[in-house]
Amino acid sequence: MTFSYLRLCQLASVWLIATSTACVQVRSPQTEFTVQVEPAQQQGSYTVTGRTNLPDFTWVTVQAVRNLNAVQGNQKPTYSILARSQVEVREGKWETTLNLLQPSDGGAPLEVWQGNRSLNLKPETNVTFLAVTDPASRSLNISEQQAGKNLVARFTADGKSYLQAEQTLAVSPPTRSAERAAPPQSTRVKVASKRLQGAPDAKSQNDAPLSPKEFLR
């Protein structure tokens, strides 16, 4: 009887420990990651900043992307990466500048896709600025409130997680500048010369010495 009672108490203790352990959940802290885009002073440049509680020296890849649609034919919609930059997190902040325009042979700077005149594409009016963290081995959790603010958590094929934040701005692409005008060709105009009545002959005017009367004038 005593042995059965002790055995029952041991089983009850094991069950309580297992139940208590099962109820304990260790939740990883929520990860913060924001992105903010502002026009810079230089035309076509934008300052991209963000805040995060990720460790220092975490790499963030920032891209500016414009979607392009085919004007005609069966060509599928595509996109163009206008600019890209990588920056490290320092003291919970990161910042970089993207220049969306590139020098062109025609004069004014253009977006990179505009350099190929054979592409018959219609650009969308918006540019999406994407900020992506390097994949991390630990799980990156975000709150529902953050998830509704253009922030998503994604996973790589090998199970690592990374964050992607984005902001969209209305940025009209520059218009292609007109071709450089050809230099004006010089035109020769023939003018018939007629000696004025009473004027001395040009040759005698150049070669003949002055007379004493002309010298005294």
Q: Please report which confidence band the pLDDT of residue 215 belongs to, taking 50, 70 and 90 as the band edges.
A: very low
Q: Looking at the domain assignment, is residue 30 inside a domain?
A: no
Q: Model pTM greater than 0.85?
A: no
The CATH number given to whatever domain includes residue 138 is 2.60.40
Q: Looking at the domain assignment, is residue 208 inside a domain?
A: no
State how far the Cα of 19 lies from the Cα of 157, in Å rounded to an integer: 35
State how far the Cα of 77 lies from the Cα of 74, in Å rounded to an integer: 9
Q: Looking at the domain assignment, is residue 100 inside a domain?
A: yes
Q: What is the C-alpha R_g of the chain?
A: 39
* Domains in the chain, number: 1
Bridge partners, residue 131, by sequence: 62, 165
pLDDT value at residue 66: 97
**Residues 130-185: tens digit of each pLDDT:** 999 999 877 777 777 677 678 888 889 998 899 999 999 999 999 875 444 444 44
Structural domain for 48, as ranges: 36-170
Q: Looking at the domain assignment, is residue 145 inside a domain?
A: yes
State how far the Cα of 165 lies from the Cα of 97, in Å rounded to an integer: 16
Q: Looking at the domain assignment, is residue 93 inside a domain?
A: yes
Instruction: Tell whether the model's pLDDT for residue 63 goes beyond 70.
Output: yes
Q: Looking at the domain assignment, is residue 197 inside a domain?
A: no
Q: Looking at the domain assignment, is residue 24 inside a domain?
A: no
Three-state secondary structure call for residue 206:
helix
* Burial class, 121, CB count within 10 angstroms (exposed 0-12 / middle 13-18 / buried 19+): middle
Structural tokens at position 182? 């050809």
The more confidently predicted of residues 156 and 195 is 156
Backbone φ and ψ for 107, nearest 5 degrees, come out as 130, -95
**Residues 93-113: tens digit of each pLDDT:** 999 999 999 988 777 899 999
- 48, 84 contact by CB (below 8 A): no
Q: Looking at the domain assignment, is residue 4 inside a domain?
A: no
